Chains A and B, each alone.
Chain A
Amino acid sequence: MTVALGASAYSVAVFHLMTHAFFKALLFLGAGSVIMGMHHNQDIRYMGAVRKYMPITWITSLLGSLALIGTPFFSGFYSKDSIIEAVHESNLAAAGFANFAVLAGVFVTAFYSFRMYFLVFHGKERYDQNPDAHHGDHHDDHESHSPHESPWVVTVPLILLAIPSVVIGFMTIQPMLFGEFFKDAIFIDAEKHAGMKILTEAFHGPVAMALHAVSTAPFWLALAGVVVAWYMYLINPAVPAAMGRALRPLVVLLENKYYMDWINENILARGARALGSGLWKVGDRTLIDGLLVNGSWKLVGMVSNWTRKLQTGYLYHYALVMILGIFLLMTYFVWLNK
């Protein structure tokens, strides 16, 4: 989406926003349905063959995944491929890197989507292998850990979301990107950023675009992603394990989300608190309060005690002070102050 904005393909970005809304919501809801059906187990390593028990969830999730990876005719295809085209046509400095990134992204997206799909809905059942299974919320009998389909309040929305995930792109790409939908709401400097113009010229209708996809890189990249996922997680599960062992540092990096959270919590948050603590203890308490405020007060107290001692109680001291006073005044005013 943001890449599209960078390529001055604003209408495409908004279009993708819309299509993405449908299939992503569908995928989340589907995930939720699976979690509910799996008695609040979220770990996909301990799922498998859920399609047998949750058919509606299975089909709608499959549709959502297909839309996400950009399968021709599905809505995600129209928006994603338009973006990839727009980036390709952009002549900005970073466009080359962006182009590589979006294409690589197509492969990675297909791979992880279908990794999850295969692990959850296909393969062998692995429910009993979960060490953290919830034993708490068993409402009825001890019959099984096996999942059950969600009630209609869940499945109906799944179906309702699946429909536009499939068709909305096909139906709206023409008016939104190349038609009058945005009218004058979006301005593009067509000379500097000719992306949209080129796209408009190249567009020959949604069916043609879908059929043409077979000859473009994204289609094959997505397909490759699906195939690799199928191989690695259904046919030969030893491969991901072996790769994980071989590329251990990479796996750790990924499991820790590139340490972004760690940086936030330990460097930014803890650092801010340390800074705050330092400013408070040293700045406020020691320097300002201790030294200036209370310090000045203690000074006054000390001088006061010293002053008090001047009053000795002896009469002759008092008389002496009076005489000294006169003497000093005399000295100053009669002799010095001419």
Chain B
Amino acid sequence: MIDSTSWMTIYPEIVLLVMACVIALVDLLVTSPKRTVTYVLSLVSLGGVALLHAFYADSGHTLYGFGRLVVSDPMGHWLKCFATIAVMVTLVYARPYAADRDMLRGGEIFSLSVFALLGMSVMISGQNFLVLYLGLELLTLSSYALVALRRDNAQATEAAMKYFVLGAMASGFLLYGMSMLYGATGSLDLATVFKVIASGQVKHQVLVFGLVFVVSGLAFKLGVVPFHMWVPDVYQGAPTAATLMIAGAPKLAAFAIIIRLLVEGLLPMAIDWQQMLALLAIASLLVGNLAAIAQTNLKRMLAYSTIAQMGFVLIGLMSGVVSGNAAMGANAYSSAMFYVVGYVLTTLATFGIILLLARQGFESEEITDLAGLNNRSPLYAGVMAICMFSLAGIPPMVGFYAKLSVLQALVASGHTADIALAVFAVFMSLIGAFYYLRVVKVMYFDEAVTATTVTAGADVRIVLSLNGLLVLVLGIVPGALMSLCAQSVSQMLAN
């Protein structure tokens, strides 16, 4: 029989599943176009789930459930907590935008978001190939639907098509890779796979064959070169609310699944996948930063910026195992985790501003649409500026500390090649700084094209200001978040 511990491990996910269905049902009864009831219900349930996760994470236990199908550990719970909060914030920002564009009908945006979050949660805590795949698919299918939510918009439909087709390919790669590994090791369970590979009894080439496919699938989800081509088109084409939904929280899930698969399951093959990640990282930094310079559309620019930022995350992930020694692992993976968390926080605020500025019929996606924002609304210009500087890695925003952590993890090995890579990475950051600065320039140095003041509901205003403030404050006192990441990752590695 399934013991109570197992149920405890997936308790928050059960809540999510139930609430997703409840929200969908409740919305049938709601008539107001603003869907306030559904909205509040979603926020309350997500809030409750976030609190649950925080509580679990704080307690510090690591528990396995359903015969090691899932794990409940601090790292997982913190990531899930952040993901939940991210989805909540996304909904807050997205609602006015969605209301203007008739996307709230049927309350699908809410239930789909909760399903997506459920998928993310399963990804974050899975310990079995199939469970991880299940979570991934739930997330991606919900995301396809979210992107396609504006059925009457050609751009959105095109983006959804591209996302779907390429996503299906990537999922196929991942599944194929997993099946190769299963075939080679004889098990779907990560711990067993780890043991079998470590014993050295399996032919290396077969393993690497499977590994390449697995890494490709994961790389697609993260959005790194050469599996990045969906990112600019989908980010730009999708309605901005959906863009935020797929740009924010899912990155945490992507990070988690990489940790689970590569670090927990395939660590003995680290020499191989670290090299792969290195190549992907270099390519992403190059393509992402260079292409972003030429962009005039803000969402597309942010898409390329994402590609480059994920390159940095990969740099963190590839620095864990040095000369066969996994002692640096905690340093490297916790740095990558801190980077992703900081990145998601900043992305939320960035897209929040874009959503805020978009009015009925006016998308506000060009960079020039931000012109003179400092004159119209110094507060929001300030929030956007803080985010831009954070993404560029300028102190004292959180983004600087994120870059610092990752670079530190890279250089810690002492190899000249790593130092050279670090120098390359900072040069790419410099190129990156240009397009972030350009946004600041447009807001502060250019004259406003329209004189309209920016109006927003109280909830958006408060959350957005807090969001921006948090990016700055986490830059002034980053210690707590850093330690949190460090501790949770250490515990994960210990098991």
Contacts and interface: CB of A to CB of B under 8 A. Distances in A.
Note whether A and B contact each other (Cβ less than 8 A): yes
Interface of A: 300-301, 303-305, 307-308, 310-311, 313, 315, 317-319, 321-322, 324-326, 328-330, 333-334, 337
Nearest to A313: B233
B226 A322 contact: yes
B493 interface: no
A272 B294 CA distance: 44
B162 to A, nearest CB: 5
A304 B293 contact: yes
Nearest to B206: A334
Contacts of A308: 291, 294-295
Q: 10 closest pairs, A vs B, by CB? A: A325-B226, A318-B229, A304-B293, A308-B294, A307-B290, A307-B291, A304-B294, A304-B290, A329-B212, A308-B291
B208 interface: yes
B233 A325 contact: no
Contact of A322 (B229, B232, B294): B229
A311 B294 contact: no
B162 A329 contact: no
Given A307-B287, A329-B279, 8 more contacts: A301-B293, A304-B293, A304-B294, A307-B294, A310-B291, A326-B212, A334-B205, A334-B209
A325 B169 CA distance: 13
Contacts of A303: 290
A330 B290 CA distance: 26
A324 B290 contact: no
Contacts of A324: 226
B208 A322 contact: no
Interface string B216-232: 10001000011101101
A315 B161 contact: yes
B173 interface: yes
Given A324-B226, A325-B226, A333-B276, A319 B290 contact: no
A308 B292 CA distance: 8
Contacts of B213: 326
A85 to B, nearest CB: 77
Contacts of A307: 286-287, 290-291, 294
Contacts of A319: 165-166, 169
B36 interface: no
B434 to A, nearest CB: 8
A315 B216 contact: no
Interface in B130-184: 161-162, 165-166, 169-170, 173
A58 to B, nearest CB: 75
B363 interface: no
Given A315-B165, A322-B220, A334 B208 contact: yes
Interface in B288-329: 290-295
A17 B479 CA distance: 77
A321 B216 contact: no
Q: Chain B interface: which size bin?
A: 35 or more
Nearest to B286: A307
B216 A322 contact: yes
A308 B435 CA distance: 14
B450 interface: no
Contact of A304 (B215, B225, B291): B291
Contacts of B295: 308
B431 interface: yes
Interface of B: 161-162, 165-166, 169-170, 173, 205, 208-209, 211-213, 215-216, 220, 225-227, 229-230, 232-233, 272, 275-276, 279, 286-287, 290-295, 431
Contacts of A301: 293-294
A330 B212 contact: yes
Contacts of B272: 333, 337
Contact of A311 (B161, B212, B233): B233
Given A318-B166, A333-B275, A334-B209, A326 B294 contact: no
A318 B162 contact: yes
B205 A329 contact: no
30 contacts: A303-B290, A305-B294, A307-B290, A308-B291, A310-B291, A311-B232, A315-B161, A315-B162, A317-B229, A318-B162, A318-B166, A318-B229, A318-B230, A318-B233, A319-B169, A322-B166, A322-B227, A322-B229, A324-B226, A325-B216, A325-B227, A326-B213, A326-B216, A329-B215, A330-B209, A333-B208, A334-B208, A334-B209, A337-B272, A337-B275
B296 to A, nearest CB: 10
Nearest to B165: A315
Contacts of A330: 209, 212
B229 to A, nearest CB: 4
B226 A321 contact: yes
Nearest to B205: A334
A17 B226 CA distance: 88
A324 B225 CA distance: 11
B227 A300 contact: no
Most buried by B among A307, A325, A337: A325
A333 B226 CA distance: 16
Given A311-B229, A333-B272, A322 B170 contact: yes
A301 B291 CA distance: 9
B200 to A, nearest CB: 16
Contacts of B215: 329
Contacts of A326: 173, 212-213, 216
B323 to A, nearest CB: 17
Nearest to B226: A325
A321 B233 CA distance: 15
A323 B431 CA distance: 29
A319 B216 CA distance: 12
Contacts of B216: 322, 325-326, 329
